[in-house]
Structure 1
Amino acid sequence: MKLKGVSTDIEEQNKGEYSLIRKDEETELGMFDKPLPCFGCGIGWFSFLLGFVCPLAWYFATVLYFMSYYRRDPRERSGLAASAIAALVFTVALIITVLVLVFSHH
């Protein structure tokens, strides 16, 4: 019996030679054994927290996000995205504040 090109007959499977798709799964997990930079929370989340003191950190993390820095370590993606969203919210709030101040003097 065959299902979509895959044999379910044990004798037929034993006749063929199979090769492993992945040599070792441990090499993939080894990348995540090391802690993230910036006190273990990653550049993205560190920039997110630092951005409340210095909003330029949000813009730095946004640039890293758009440069796909998270491809080096996928654990960085959420923190960098949070910083990008914070930078967007801060920019919109800053523009609204400036517009209100400029047009309130007329």
Structure 2
Amino acid sequence: MNPFISQIASKDTIELMARFFDSANESVKRSNYSSDILEAFDLIQAISCYRYFPTVDECIKAFPNLEQEKHKVEYIWEQFKGLSNEQLSDIFISSLSKIDVSNAITN
């Protein structure tokens, strides 16, 4: 299970997010790893982590595989800090619109 999801308390939320990320992964595969779909998926994951983990260290703790890329996470967090909640939401929604996650909703 994705470490981000395992940090969430609500079982229903965990199930919904697991289905969403599984469906998003399938969408990336169906797009034959199209660069714009990959970028959209990466942005969705990054914004989700930024909103859930307020510090870089908390993110790294949840995703130890990012330890060697900590400088990149720090850079992303700094970029996100410069955006308003509305701007982050707009980026998230725009990215989400590029990914077909309809099977997460219907399954």
TM-score by length of 2: 0.27
TM-score by length of 1: 0.27
Q: Choose 1 or 2 for highest CA Rg.
A: 1
Q: Which has the higher relative contact order, 1 or 2, with Cα contacts under 8 A spaced 6 or more apart? A: 2
